[in-house]
Structure 1
Amino acid sequence: MIFQGLFKILEIYLNQIDLFYKSIDDYLQNKIEHYYLDEFANGKEEFSESLNRILLNLTYSLMELGIEKADIENKFSSLLVEFEGKECEKYQSTMAIYDVIAPFIYEIFLEAILKFLVDVDGSSVMSNLKAKKILPIEFIIELSNLKSFFNREFEKKKNLEKYIQVREKIIKTLRNNTKKIENLEHFTDPRNRLQFFYMVFKIIEFFGIHSLFDFTHIKKYIKNNSSEWLDTVPLVSLKNPDLYYCGVYISRHLEVELEEETEDFIKYFLLDIYDENIDEFEAPIIEATNKVYYFFRTSWMSDLELSEGQIKELLKGSPRFFNETYLRNLETSQLVVILKIYKSLGVYDKIDPQRIRNIEEEIKRRITSNGIKQYRDGFVSSEATFYVLSFDRLIKALKSVEKNNFINSAISRIYRNLEILNFSEETNYDLVSELFYSCETL
């Protein structure tokens, strides 16, 4: 996610980037031009075989330039999705295939450039490109100027270096546990199975590495076992998401086609959840913030239309629920979620302004120079930090916080959690959620 933004910035800043891309194309096309696909156009199996040979050839060529094999495989696994379901007759030449591959190759080199700029294992690639005369002189000058800028901006350089190293560490950990993540049969409890996968999947989404995994098992489970996951869990929290929400979220993001009957049942189930929230709580949005939050999010994903009256019932609450005495006992992330619900519903400016001020002021009391605490007298929390950072109206309140404290705290939590994280039914979910929130904070 962050890398995609950085790639865009590089492409905007480097005026000679197209010249560099052309030089890369010329070099690599020369490596594969002897492959002709005309003879394979009539059969998908033969086409796939030819495609794999081309990718293998490109992999070796890129490795000769100093690119790590794992980095190439990451990109090429995403690439294969581009060819799924497409008519192989479209690709009558090697160059037609290369045109599809090229953007993925460009990203491989943009990543190498980023590493070069912050002195993280990128120099060898640049040296190899220069030795093989793949780097145009105009592009070398631009890169040199950009590197000089980073050397002057030590803090920016150091922060980017930390992010790159953390990203590689996390991706390596996930790659090493691919089978454990994909195969859920060893999880006997459906709740553990789904919540675990949901939290790991959020990290996979964050880094955009879906293509490294085969989600067949979880998709099959979601499609065929709705009676297991259409359920609630006790003590719902942002670290303990409601089970039905996890199921619907995964089904939407993995594009699982649920039966129409299942979709209808989801809506009926949600209406039951609505009734429970109304019957059980005087002020649902305050007393059961996380339950209401997951209810709304699932309703939106399931196209369940709520009337204005139904929404008001979930947002109701007497003034005592919004005074300082009551609010101080709520988690910081919970307070932010209340504001996010108001904003998502488009009612932020319609809520009693005093209630909004009370919530915002309580959140600001948790913001210290060292970070954001989950309670007034609590510890700095990655979850609290993430939610405050994610709400634009609170950004101004963060001026007192030393930015490096955010970064250093997030990075230390990531490394610590990776050291003790294991992908099994005994996994401590707090570790996985801490990992996710720390990544998002970066």
Structure 2
Amino acid sequence: MTDLLPALSGAFGDRPDAVVVDGEATSWENLRDRAQRLADRATGAPALAVHATASLDTVVAVVAGLLAGVPVVPMAPDAGPLERDHVLSDSGAVAVADLPGDGPRIAGDAALILYTSGTTGAPKGVQLSAAALAADLDALAEAWAWTPDDTLVHGLPLFHVHGLVLGLLGALRTGSRLVHTGRPAPATYASARGTLYFGVPTVWSRIVAEPDAARELRAARLLVSGSAALPVPVFARLEELTGHRPVERYGMTETLITISSRADGERRPGHVGTPLAGVEARLAGEDGELQVRGTTLFDGYLNRPSPFTEDGWFATGDIAELVDGQYRIVGRASTDLIKSGGYRIGAGEVENALLAHPGVREAAVVGMPHEDLGQEVVAFVVASGVTARDLIDFVARELSVHKRPRRVVLVGALPRNAMGKVQKKLLCR
């Protein structure tokens, strides 16, 4: 584990505030010692379930599982009983409170088992090896010029790839100081004085809504956005207020981060860049589904058949385009590629057009069944001082007329998951 996380073995010296979570600070040495005591109890457990709150206790528990050579299974703090029971049963994980445990290991070489959202059935356990984690973090460090001189700031959940792998293990691998703000509020980001900031689009949209907080990020070196597409208007406002064109990147739980813009390269709004070192990408089929393979991919789903093609490619389910050497994600094949009247329409393009209207705060576009068109473009919009007809006409002026929403539904809020992604399947019901 010290090979994976060299900060814990003294490779970068030490400092009393090397890791700060919601105001509680620790040195790398103290973190390692606390984690080792828990690891001694966890050794032999089939897997270690961690109630992943935004706390130093969570950091200790994750590191303890890695020290013990036991797969770590992070669980959302608000997980309901059905989800929790499924994850524990499927992984065989022992909760920290129930240690010591014993029994055979069931997950091969997995360092982490992260469960997907389960939108098409029960959540699936994604097995991520230490080798895949190391390969991905090294590739990101190279792409983002991420070094021990950085202070990484974020307030993302510690049970997903973005907050846990990139935002915690990434700091412990690169030797950068980590400040986890507890919650990703504009004020806490502004006061953290970091050089490298991670956020999801919801975080960045809230930050640009508070210009004084956003301007405090001018002293940073790099802003990174991921987990969902960053609306073009938010990209532009971030550049205006902070002086930074944010880096966007693409990945999945199954693949970690595979495509990214670079710190020393072009950062184009609406595009996620180029494949990282050790990763290959291709577009397959009529619709252009993105497929990837390489060193960052998972080892498969726990207790399920292999998801890979015979030559090792993984189908992401996302539709993408390659534009002037950079990838642009159109959206999920199931919800974001709308086939209406013989046209292929990307939901993201229509959403960005809606967000350009000054009265619109949020927008989600889906395809709904239509007897004549096959699917019609329907927009769910959070807005004020504007009518549905106004927005339909606005998009028709900004884009091709066939891309305009046939219907606009004005709502008070959009359903989102813990990472800020809009849950479009709930809108399609």
TM-score by length of 1: 0.28
**Structure that is richer in helix per residue:** 1
Between structure 1 and structure 2, the one with the greater Rg is 1
TM-score by length of 2: 0.29
